[in-house]
């Protein structure tokens, strides 16, 4: 997954400034120690300081060399500035939706309104199913071969299981970047928050959700190699 140009620039800036400041402090200490006649320690500090200043300056010069690839989000049309053309799914910085990419091409986004609440939802040919973002009911969508992408779930209007469930992530698999992007969209969290969650597995992602939504989200994670467990709740949330 390509980095965002802004993230790379921020990294170069932070490392470069830290190295510069540390180098200048080491040089000042070295000169002070030299005056106190601790020459061996002074030479060491001065060498380290010069090296740190040089490295910091180098990292700052790399900011101007950060590659730029502008990609428009198919949902909100906002421009995302990446370091290279995307080859895998990424999250839009503006609307925080997961942008699907296949064979280096951003997939076309389709719109469908929920038959229950009339809320507008979005999907692509890569979607394995669709749950309304507003009322949590399943919306059937068709694949290119005419089959229902949501056929693994029950029909549009049936809701046999009225219980509540929690979705827990037990393994991130070996496609961590794809899983991070998926969880960013699913949980509306930033990248650092998601990475921290992955360091604390197993972790509960969502709780108090319908079984159909838990199954769909679990299927989306499975597409990227992650493993999620669906656990029934003993009582409805808030009771």
Q: What number is the average pLDDT over the span 219-228?
A: 88
Give residue 142's pLDDT. 57
Confidence tier at 161 by pLDDT (50, 70, 90): low
How many whole angstroms separate alpha carbon 30 and alpha carbon 36?
Answer: 10
Report DSSP letters for 112-145, one per residue.
Answer: EE-TTT--EEEE-TT-S--B-TTT--B---B-TT
Give residue 103's pLDDT. 87
Nearest by Cα to 202 from 221, 223, 178, 220:
221
How many whole angstroms separate alpha carbon 99 and alpha carbon 113?
Answer: 19
**113-138, pLDDT tens digit by residue?**
887 788 888 888 877 677 887 777 77
Residues near 100 by beta carbon (within 8 Å), at least 6 away in sequence: 89, 106, 107, 124, 126, 127
Q: What number is the average pLDDT over the span 151-178?
A: 69
Domain range 161-234, CATH architecture: 2-Layer Sandwich (3.30)
**196-212, pLDDT tens digit by residue?**
989 988 999 998 888 87
Give residue 18's pLDDT. 95
The structural domains of the chain, with segments of one domain joined by +, span: 5-65, 161-234
**Which helix or strand (DSSP H or E) is residue 60 part of?**
helix 39-61
């Amino acid at each position: 997954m390509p980095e965002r140009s802004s993230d790379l620039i921020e990294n170069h800036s932070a490392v470069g400034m830290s190295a510069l400041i540390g180098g200048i402090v080491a040089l000042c200490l070295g000169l002070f120690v030299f005056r106190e006649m601790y020459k061996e320690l002074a030479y060491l500090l001065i060498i380290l300081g010069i090296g740190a200043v040089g490295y910091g300056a180098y990292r700052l010069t790399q900011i101007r060399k950060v590659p730029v690839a502008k990609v428009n989000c198919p949902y909100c049309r906002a421009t995302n500035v990446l370091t290279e053309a995307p080859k895998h799914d990424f999250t839009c910085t503006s609307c925080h939706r997961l942008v699907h990419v296949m064979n280096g091409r951003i997939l076309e986004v389709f719109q469908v309104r929920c038959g229950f609440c009339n809320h507008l939802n979005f999907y692509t040919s890569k979607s394995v199913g669709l749950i309304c973002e507003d009322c949590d009911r399943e919306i059937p969508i068709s694949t290119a071969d005419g089959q229902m992408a949501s056929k693994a779930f029950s029909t549009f209007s049936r809701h046999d299981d009225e219980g509540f469930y929690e979705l827990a992530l037990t393994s991130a698999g070996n496609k961590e970047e794809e899983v991070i992007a998926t969880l960013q969209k699913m949980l509306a969290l930033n990248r650092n928050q998601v990475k921290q969650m992955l360091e604390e597995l197993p972790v509960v992602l969502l709780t108090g959700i319908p079984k159909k939504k838990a199954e769909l989200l679990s299927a989306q994670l499975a597409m990227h190699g992650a493993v999620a467990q669906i656990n029934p709740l003993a009582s409805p949330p808030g009771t």
